[in-house]
């Protein structure tokens, strides 16, 4: 007797959708902010994930049925069943998971039954059928509904996994049907979305969908970690690597608290660890898995590692564990603290006569404006943002131009060398007062690194040109509502990032 136990009711929803790259790349960035100094990687790579927190396989061959209700004319039952069986055969060819087709059924996907103890529960019959996927996930071409069960030994297994193929046009061709089937069957057998871009199972929230149609290394490893290699196959692989290693805050120049990861040979033939290398220069391997070590099946080694940041800021380095089963990426992250990061407050002033804004961090300018004698009519708005007064690793110069009276009689702060150069070229009459008035961090596609604050800029769009800078998006929106123009990058219009 087994009883059902829902780990995350309603959350075990997985999908396949297209045309979501823009949104997803934002997610990817928020997970892994770029180092300003290096790292062209925009996606962390990580191990395969599973449908449920603890990896949960089926404990017996996966029986399934097909419901042809609502199937598109171009995908008649024989074709659809063949496509699904073909997808299942691809998985069965690389790992020890078996599927049994029990024929057609009139039971729809996601049917429930009444359990005398638990009430309404999934019916434990795996049905693959057609319907609109959008009600479950917008833009989805297929949705799988895996349900975790608890068996008599207290182990989590998959107990029901129906698949809904979209019949509203998200699957336009046989090729796409093959892709969707391969991906959704991966969910059915217990795999979640991988963070590795080049895999069948890649998907949100970290990676976009791959659009691939053949199983990739990461897919094969994920399936083998649930089921082992296919019968008769000799394979070495490891399932013990972490999704990532996080060092947290580390003072610049100091060695972090060591972390470790274990390479366990989950396969049935020896696994050789050829080498472990880093994409950067700040990680230190402290030993444990020497190059060339051979791990027999069931053996392990544990590598210790630490980070010694050379400069401040958040960074990620990818460790590559090169093995006889190919490369395994191990992302690492750390946030290097600057012991002496000096910052100043850029103070905002408003002149009601001119209806102009101005910011400065210089003590002598602040004193003059506060005194209101030599230069009159400027009052503090009470708003400030942080800036570096001197060059900092990861920060860029902000130039200050004086806009002459005929063009506005105000000041403009350009972020980074590119904008400063362009401003000077496009406005020969502007006076470059300082090519590096202060130093700020630049956003990447409108996203500020972790630990920094977005700074917004609006332009008055009047003949007497004036700009205002602020960290409060509500204030920015209020300015825009009165006719000022928001300038900056990305959906949130960010120009620079305050330390």
Check residue 447 and report its DSSP letter: B
Residue 136 Cβ, how far from Zn ion at the closest point, in Å?
12
Please identify, using beta-carbon distances, which residue of 51 and 317 lies nearer to Zn ion: 51
Residue 64 Cβ, how far from Zn ion at the closest point, in Å?
18
Please identify, using beta-carbon distances, which residue of 203 and 309 lies nearer to Zn ion: 203
Task: Tell me how far apart the alpha carbons of residues 186 and 202 are, in angstroms, rounded to a whole number.
Answer: 11
With binding defined as CB under 5 A, does residue 250 bind Zn ion?
no
Residue 14 Cβ, how far from Zn ion at the closest point, in Å?
4
Please identify, using beta-carbon distances, which residue of 16 and 207 lies nearer to Zn ion: 16
Please identify, using beta-carbon distances, which residue of 16 and 319 lies nearer to Zn ion: 16
Task: Tell me how far apart the alpha carbons of residues 416 and 397 are, in angstroms, rounded to a whole number.
Answer: 5
Please identify, using beta-carbon distances, which residue of 203 and 397 lies nearer to Zn ion: 203
Interface stretch with Zn ion, choices 6-14, 49-57, 67-75, 394-402 (CB under 5 A): 6-14
Beta strands in 82-219 (DSSP E): 99-104, 112-115, 119-122, 127-131, 140-150, 156-166
Please identify, using beta-carbon distances, which residue of 14 and 196 lies nearer to Zn ion: 14
Task: Tell me how far apart the alpha carbons of residues 2 and 19 are, in angstroms, rounded to a whole number.
Answer: 41
CB atoms within 10 A of CB 172: 11
Please identify, using beta-carbon distances, which residue of 16 and 236 lies nearer to Zn ion: 16
Task: Tell me how far apart the alpha carbons of residues 78 and 453 are, in angstroms, rounded to a whole number.
Answer: 57
With binding defined as CB under 5 A, does residue 14 bind Zn ion?
yes
**Which residues ranging from 311 to 340 are in contact with Zn ion (CB under 5 A)?**
none
Residue 15 Cβ, how far from Zn ion at the closest point, in Å?
5
Residue 225 Cβ, how far from Zn ion at the closest point, in Å?
18
Encoded one letter per residue, x for contact with Zn ion by CB under 5 A and - for no contact, window 74-103 reads ------------------------------
With binding defined as CB under 5 A, does residue 203 bind Zn ion?
yes
Q: Which of 404, 250, 268, 270 is nearest to 317 (CA)?
A: 250
Q: The tokens 């823009």 sit on which residue? A: 22
At 289, list the tokens.
């898995």
Please identify, using beta-carbon distances, which residue of 146 and 443 lies nearer to Zn ion: 146
Interface stretch with Zn ion, choices 29-37, 195-203, 237-245, 356-364 (CB under 5 A): 195-203
Buried b (16+ CB within 10 A) or exposed e, 365-376: beeebeeeeeee
Please identify, using beta-carbon distances, which residue of 142 and 408 lies nearer to Zn ion: 142
Residue 137 Cβ, how far from Zn ion at the closest point, in Å?
9
Task: Tell me how far apart the alpha carbons of residues 53 and 50 are, in angstroms, rounded to a whole number.
Answer: 7
DSSP string, 227-264: H-BPTT----------S-EEEEEEETTSPPPPEEEEEE
Task: Tell me how far apart the alpha carbons of residues 486 and 56 are, in angstroms, rounded to a whole number.
Answer: 49
With binding defined as CB under 5 A, does residue 454 bind Zn ion?
no
Pairing of strands 356-360, 112-115: unpaired
Pairing of strands 467-470, 453-459: antiparallel
Residue 202 Cβ, how far from Zn ion at the closest point, in Å?
9
Q: How many residues bind to Zn ion according to rule CB under 5 A?
A: 3
Residue 17 Cβ, how far from Zn ion at the closest point, in Å?
8
Residue 28 Cβ, how far from Zn ion at the closest point, in Å?
16
Pairing of strands 99-104, 62-66: parallel
Binding site for Zn ion (CB under 5 A): 14, 16, 203
């Amino acid at each position: 007797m087994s009883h059902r136990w829902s780990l995350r009711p309603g959350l075990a929803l997985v999908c396949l959708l297209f045309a979501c790259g823009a949104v997803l790349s934002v997610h990817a960035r928020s997970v892994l902010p770029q180092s300003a100094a290096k790292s062209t990687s925009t996606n962390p790579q990580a191990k395969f994930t599973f449908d449920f927190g603890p990896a949960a396989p089926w404990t017996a061959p996966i029986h399934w049925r097909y419901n042809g209700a609502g199937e598109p004319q171009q995908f008649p039952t024989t074709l659809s069943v063949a496509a699904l069986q073909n997808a299942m055969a691809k998985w069965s060819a690389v790992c020890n998971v078996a599927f049994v087709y029990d024929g057609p059924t009139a039971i729809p996907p996601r049917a429930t039954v009444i359990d005398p103890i638990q009430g309404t529960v999934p019916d434990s019959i795996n049905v693959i059928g057609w319907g609109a996927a959008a009600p479950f996930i917008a833009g989805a071409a297929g949705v799988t509904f895996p349900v975790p069960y608890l068996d008599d030994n207290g182990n989590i297994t998959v107990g029901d996994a129906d698949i809904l193929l979209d019949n509203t046009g998200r699957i336009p061709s046989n090729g796409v049907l093959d892709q969707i089937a391969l991906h959704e069957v991966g969910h059915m057998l217990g795999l979640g979305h991988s963070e590795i871009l080049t895999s069948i199972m890649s998907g949100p929230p970290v990676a976009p969908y791959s659009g691939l149609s053949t199983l990739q290394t990461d897919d094969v490893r994920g399936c083998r970690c649930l089921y082992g290699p296919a019968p008769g196959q000799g394979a070495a692989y490891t399932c013990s690597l972490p999704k990532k290693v996080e060092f947290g805050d580390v003072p610049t120049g100091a060695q972090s608290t060591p972390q470790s990861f274990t390479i366990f040979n989950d396969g049935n033939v020896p696994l050789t660890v050829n080498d472990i290398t880093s994409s950067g220069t700040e990680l230190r391997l402290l030993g444990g898995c020497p190059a060339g070590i051979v791990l027999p099946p069931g053996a392990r080694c544990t590598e210790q590692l630490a980070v010694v940041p050379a400069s401040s800021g958040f960074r990620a380095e990818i460790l590559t564990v090169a093995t006889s089963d190919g490369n395994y990426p191990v992302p690492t992250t750390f946030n290097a603290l600057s012991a002496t990061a000096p910052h100043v407050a850029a103070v905002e002033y408003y002149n009601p006569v001119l209806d102009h804004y101005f910011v400065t961090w210089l003590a002598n300018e602040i004193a003059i404006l506060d005194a209101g004698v030599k230069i009159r009519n400027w009052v503090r708005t009470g708003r400030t943002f942080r800036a570096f007064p001197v060059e900092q690793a990861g920060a860029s110069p902000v130039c200050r131009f004086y806009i002459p009276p005929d063009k506005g009689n105000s000041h403009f702060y350009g972020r980074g060398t590119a904008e400063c150069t362009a401003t000077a070229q496009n406005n020969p009459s502007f006076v470059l007062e300082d090519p590096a008035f202060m130093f700020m961090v630049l956003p990447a596609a409108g996203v500020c690194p972790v630990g920094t604050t977005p700074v917004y800029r609006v332009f008055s769009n009047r003949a007497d040109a004036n700009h205002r800078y602020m960290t409060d998006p509500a204030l920015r929106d209020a300015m825009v509502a009165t006719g000022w123009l928001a300038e900056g990058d990305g959906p949130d219009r960010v120009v620079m990032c305050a330390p």
